[in-house]
A and B are shown apart, each in its own frame.
Chain A
Amino acid sequence: MTGELLQASGIQRSFGEVTVLSDVSISVDPGEVVAVVGANGSGKSTLLRILAGVSPPDSGAVTIPPGAGSARRLGYLPQRPAFREGFTARDTLLFYAQLLDGVDNDDVSRTLDRVGLTGVADRAVGSLSGGMTRLLGLGQAVLGDPGVLLLDEPGSGLDPAMVDRLFAVVGALAAGGTAIVVASHELPAVETHADTVAVLEGGGFRVVDTPEALLDETDTDSLSAAFLRIVGADAGGATVASGTGRPPDDTESGGAHDDA
């Protein structure tokens, strides 16, 4: 497909005897928001780390064209962002800005404003709440207007208003042409903001489609219900994946299966 900013094909990753990702492929166009959803342990973070280039796959390839983004091709928000405690939020972003050409203090101030941290910009990182630290991580990830943005559970620990703000930022970036992959359990927000939802289970994508199509296919009225139906979990049951190999074909198998 032409015009893709991110393309990964044949990604394979195992940890010892446990196969986490098996022949996973994904492509993201400019301006597209792809949400990767799946049970805990299904391999979302592993996939994002491989896409970000911080973890090597056993096999497969990840491609990002050289011209993607302005100062930076790729932005990445890890699952549990943390920063040096002796620095302020502004100091932290200034440090990262210095690693990018053409990104200056004004860009840092704009980024702080964009993620809603202007009011605590000069507060030490160690005194920020978990949610604020995550927003700072988002600020780091969007600094330099990357062509591809990878966000690993960005809404974790944020209140609903902050989750809305975060996804608003994501939407604005996508409108500007950024290709975005977000791993998230915030399914209502995903349903509203994602163009494509990819359900990761059993080492591969079980379903990749628009939120609307998923609702139609599963005959449900919310993405949460659709997800539970796809992964075969009851509403009150657990959805934890921990195993290897491919999942059974029966999406209505019931309960959390252990071969994800």
Chain B
Amino acid sequence: MRDGRATDGGQPTASTGASAGSPDAESTDDAGNAGRAAVAAAWQDLVVVATRELRTVTRTPALVAISIGFAASVFGVAWAGTGAGGGFVPLTLDLLTFVEVLVPLLSVAFGYRSILGDRRTGELDVLRTFDVHRVAYVGGVYLGRALALVTLVVASLLGVGLLVPFFTADLPTFLAINEAVDSEVRYVRFVVLSAVFTLVVLAATVAISAATRTLRAALALAVALVLALVLGFDTALVAGLAGGAISDGGLAVLVAGSPNSAYRGLVLSAAVGVVGGTDVAAGTPVVNLVGLATWWLLSISVAVWRVWPVVERSE
């Protein structure tokens, strides 16, 4: 039995053995050791759960097929657009909307059954008898799915980015050009921001999976999430601006409130920068980052809170 294990599934924390009559410093050390052991045990459980999730993804034919479809689509978009033939920034602009739409759909595919599946089979109840902490379980599910999904997104985007040097026409030597305008560094920023966006949307999907009790409810909420991300928030912003309900000052905050808008703003400012000789501004980068971080934190918190109730047990 793991000593000092942090638990919340009805299993009391195991005693590490009290030393009778020990001084305060010694009991503080004991508490510290127990705390470290609990964290170590929770981390170990998290890794075990994450490994299982990774293996689940690779063994699920539907997810493998969707992954292949996504990668092929990325290459298709690059091939069809100005993309790989036009340089890194044109490729980014080609892929931006595509990523905004497909990453939420991918996240739903990868995440909406992640925790709900264990609830439906009863394994969620079983896992709790193994003294697995809620944070370790949710963290493991999220980490495993995120590793698979982020790897897919990053590998696809980087893969198509590698084609740019081969397809871009030779630049005329008689023109003075700014190397910073179109560079692989800007494209790497786009890929990194896409990975961050993927992590945020997946967290929201995992929260839905933890909070719902039926497949129908999970699917309905997941579809609603995708529609809100892809259409709802932006439509509301445009309507608010057109109707005069949103001031220019409040726009930056509201843009950051939608993961898609925040992601788009960050890509435009950090990975595109200049379009037609004009700096692109879409919200405030720091506020956009805070917006994404808030979405991520709230989603993970909801997942941990809703995955199972804390059951107290006396020893």
Chain A: residues with CB nearer than 8 A to chain B?
49, 52-56, 61-67, 69-76, 78-84, 86-87, 91, 95-96, 98-101, 137, 140
Contacts and interface: CB of A to CB of B under 8 A. Distances in A.
Interface stretch (B9-17, B20-28, B271-279): B9-17
B58 to A, nearest CB: 9
Contacts of B170: none
A69 B308 CA distance: 24
B309 to A, nearest CB: 6
Contact of A66 (B10, B15, B123, B311): B15
A101 B1 contact: yes
Contacts of A72: 1, 129-131
Nearest to B128: A54
A99 B48 contact: yes
Contacts of B11: 53, 73-74
Contact of A54 (B1, B52, B125, B131): B125
16 contacts: A52-B125, A53-B128, A54-B125, A54-B311, A61-B313, A62-B10, A62-B313, A63-B313, A73-B1, A78-B122, A80-B122, A84-B56, A87-B59, A95-B48, A99-B127, A137-B126
Contact of B129 (A62, A76, A101): A76
Interface residues of B, number: 36
Contacts of A76: 125-126, 129
Contacts of B125: 49, 52, 54, 76, 78
A140 B126 contact: yes
B133 to A, nearest CB: 11
Nearest to A64: B313
Given A54-B308, A66-B15, A84 B314 contact: no
A152 to B, nearest CB: 10
Contacts of A82: 120-123
Contacts of A66: 12, 14-15, 315
B45 interface: yes
Contacts of A64: 12, 313, 315
Contacts of B315: 63-66
Contacts of A80: 122
B1 A70 contact: yes
Given A49-B125, A84-B117, A101 B56 contact: no
Contacts of A98: 48
> Interface centre among B15, B52, B60, B309, by most A CB within 10 Å?
B52
Contact of A100 (B59, B117, B121, B130): B130
B252 interface: no
> Interface centre among A62, A84, A96, by most B CB within 10 Å?
A84
A63 B1 contact: no
Interface string B38-65: 0000000100100010011001100000
B36 interface: no
A203 B11 CA distance: 25
A86 B56 contact: yes
Interface string B101-145: 000000000000000010011110111111110000000000000
Nearest to A61: B314
A60 to B, nearest CB: 10
Nearest to A62: B313
Contacts of A78: 122, 125-126
Nearest to A69: B1
